[in-house]
Amino acid sequence: MPSQPKRYGIPIQKSTLLTLVTPLFLLLAIPKTSGQVASDPFEFQFEDKILRGLIEKPQDVKPKALVILIPGYGRTNFVKGNWYANLREKLVASGLTVVFWDKMGCGNSDGDFDAQQPVENSADEAIAALQKIKKLKVPGFETIGFWGISRAGWIVPLINEQFPMKFWISVSGTDDKENFGYLLKSNLIIAGKEEKEAQALYEAWMLGHKIFNTLGKYEDYLNAIKPLAQDSLSRMLFGYTKVSHITDEDRKKFTLEQKQYTSKGHFDTESGLWVYINDFDQTLLKINCPVLALFGANDSQVDWRKTKKLYEETIGANPDSELTVKVFENCNHVLQKCITCGWREDLSALKWQACDAYYETMEEWLRVHQIVE
């Protein structure tokens, strides 16, 4: 999403949904407790920059397979922040090699972080890593699969088109369109709005979104989102602000961001929503491997029911793949236990607990499909 001054409110561009996920990801950086992990540095070149991460594998067992971790939107801090430590430990303990790295401009990786990195470019980045893994013959490289969360639901299928994967664990995956409207409405209701009022604010967002995406005037955009700017809850949750005075500089900046944003993709003509991958259903139909799709029943950021239906109609209908779906009750977007499950909920009282049987579900699925012993 283009950098958007708060006075504009939030035009809800392509990365807005996943921007809001980032604070929860940071809380997954729990120190590892197992000493049975061998860790080696990993680096590869992408677009003339060196990206750096780690290779983690069992100390005393030869891995049968290797899993690459694909994070969601936002900056990463895999190495220094020890991100996804419990997940990595469980995957290694099950007999997998785990490979991960920090995005460009994050952690020890070179370059500048790009908040607008297209999913196609993210897929190319992962393919560059995959090629290096094969060149190094990292233990388990003969059977490479992916674990990916949220935005990775677009990235992994694109990787698969060039390098067919052997397995995929999808966490809180997405359908082909942006989900911010769902996030906005569901979180307004969680915070106390009545359905009718939340729907009206959602429709105001949709109108503003269409105006922005079709290069409409700044004044028309502001008028469209006025209900959001006037609503105290929308201002508190999403940063909408009232604009009392418009300058030529504001108009120029708004127009520039419109052009930058719309040049990077396309929109559904009916809804005006950003479409991430053309013919996404056809991309999913090319997946010919076991897929484990995991969702939180109380995900307030991604409309998981739409994704589940899409997966069932594509991956589930493909005789060469095998889809397993698991929905965890009372769990949020990042598969942590939650109470209100709003995206700003403080879960420290619950000690940031993973959903019941989350890790066990993955481990059993890996065994059933003989990916691990």
The pLDDT confidence band at residue 182, using thresholds 50, 70 and 90, is: very high
The answer to whether the CB of 284 falls within 8 A of the CB of 320 is: no
What is the tens place of the pLDDT at every residue in 10-30?
333 333 333 333 333 333 333
112 close to 105: Cβ distance less than 8 angstroms: yes
Residue pLDDT, tens place only, 121-173: 999 999 999 999 999 999 999 999 999 999 999 999 999 999 999 999 999 99
pLDDT tens sequence across 231-254: 999 998 888 888 888 999 999 999
Which pLDDT belongs to residue 6?
Answer: 30
- Tokens coding 236: 């508190």
Tell me which residue of 122, 185, 124 sits closest to 150, measured CA to CA.
122
Q: What pLDDT is stored for residue 358 in this prediction?
A: 97
- Per-residue b or e along 246-266, where b marks 16 or more CB atoms closer than 10 Å to that residue's CB: eeeebeebbeebbeebbebbe
User: What kind and span of H or E run contains 326?
Assistant: strand 322-328
Q: Domain 31-176+278-368 sits in which CATH superfamily?
A: Alpha/Beta hydrolase fold, catalytic domain (3.40.50.1820)
User: What DSSP string runs through 10-48?
Assistant: ----TTHHHHTTHHHHHTT-PPP--S-EEEEEEEEEETT
- What is the rounded distance in angstroms from the CA atom of residue 24 to the CA atom of residue 9? 22
pLDDT of amino acid 200: 96
Give 277-281's long-range contacts (Cβ < 8 A, gap of 24+).
277/119, 277/154, 277/157, 277/158, 277/176, 280/154, 280/157, 280/175, 280/176, 280/310, 281/176, 281/310, 281/313, 281/314
Nearest by Cα to 30 from 108, 82, 71, 97: 82
Give domain limits for the chain. Answer: 6-13+179-275, 31-176+278-368
- Is residue 206's pLDDT more than 60? yes
Q: Is the pTM of this model over 0.85?
A: yes
Pick the closest to residue 68 from 7, 60, 78, 264 (CA basis): 78
